[in-house]
Each structure stands twice: as C-alpha cells, then as structure tokens.
Amino acid sequence: MTNFVSAPALRADAFSGVRTRRILALVLDLVLVSLLAAAIWLALLILTLGLSLILLPPLYPLVAFFYNGLTVSGAKMATPGMRAMDLEMRMVDTGARVPFINAAAQALFFYLSWFFPPVFLVSLVDPEKRCLHDMLAGVVLVRRL
C-alpha cells in the first residue's frame, strides 16, 4: 500500500503564463548570479593577490547552487527573478515551502539539463508545465498565490 498525498488544490490560473514568466525570471537570475559571482571572484582575486585563481573556476556553479537554494527555501519561496515575474516554487505533493536541499537539487538538475537541451521539451507536454529538473526535485513553479 502506497501513501500518496495528492497535489494541493491550486487556483485555476496557477499555471497560466508560467513558461514565459519562468524564462524571463531565468534571464534575470542569470544576470544576478553572474554579477554576484563576478563580485566574489574580484574580491577573492584582490584579497589573495591572485593566488586563488586556481580555485575560482568552480565559483559560478557554487554561487548558483547557493543562490537558488537559499532564495527558494527562504520566506518568499522564489529567487529575485521569480519574484519579479510573480512566481513561486512549492513542493508538488503538499504545496509547502521548498526545503533547501530540494531547491538546491532543482538548481543542480537545471544546470545539468543544459548538457541535454531536449529535456526542456518535457514542459511542453506536462499539464503543470514542469520541466524534468522540477520533477526530479519534487517541486512545481506556480503563479504567486
């Protein structure tokens, strides 16, 4: 016997325009992560007098991982780009706030998806407009409630 919790009841328009808004939110978030990573990279470069150059290549993925994990698992349940586009991320089974590990895993799966671009087409056939990385992390992106 399986204990399956059904998805929470959402507003009728919870998924309207999510795909377009999510793309625009991604662009905003990529700009913010890039600026943040560049600022940290420059600060570390100056503080270590260039000795940290060998450690700096993995800086962008680390910043993106913690950026998504901390902002999505926070009180507003969205990255700044998602908030600007009136979106929030919730757990698919309960509709509750996303824990840090799920939010960070979703970001990790998203960035790994760039190696296999056809997986982004999954959102075209999913009724909740979820991408494969959302399904793997157990989250759903909806319009702000």
User: Do residues 70 and 99 touch, judged by C-beta distance below 8 A?
Assistant: no
Confidence at residue 71, expressed as pLDDT on a 0 to 100 scale:
93
Residue 142 to residues 59, 82, 111, 112, 113, Cα–Cα distance (Å): 30, 10, 20, 22, 21
Instruction: For residue range 70-79, list pLDDT tens digits in order.
Output: 999 988 889 9
- pTM (two decimals): 0.81
Q: Is the residue at 86 inside a domain?
A: yes
Report the C-alpha gap between 98 and 59 in whole angstroms: 24
Mean pLDDT throughout 21-33? 94
Residue 83 to residues 1, 43, 63, 75, 80, Cα–Cα distance (Å): 39, 28, 19, 12, 5
pLDDT greater than 60 at residue 8: no
Confidence at residue 2, expressed as pLDDT on a 0 to 100 scale:
37
Q: Is the residue at 5 inside a domain?
A: no
More confident residue, 55 or 121: 121
Q: Is the residue at 1 inside a domain?
A: no
Confidence at residue 6, expressed as pLDDT on a 0 to 100 scale:
43
Q: Is the residue at 88 inside a domain?
A: yes
Q: Is the residue at 37 inside a domain?
A: yes
Q: How many domains does the chain have?
A: 1
Q: Is the residue at 4 inside a domain?
A: no
**Which residues constitute the domain of residue 55?**
18-143
User: For residue 31, what are the contacts with CB-CB under 8 A and spacing of at least 6?
Assistant: none
Q: Is the residue at 12 inside a domain?
A: no
Instruction: For residue range 80-110, list pLDDT tens digits in order.
Output: 999 999 999 999 888 889 999 999 999 999 9
Q: Is the residue at 92 inside a domain?
A: yes
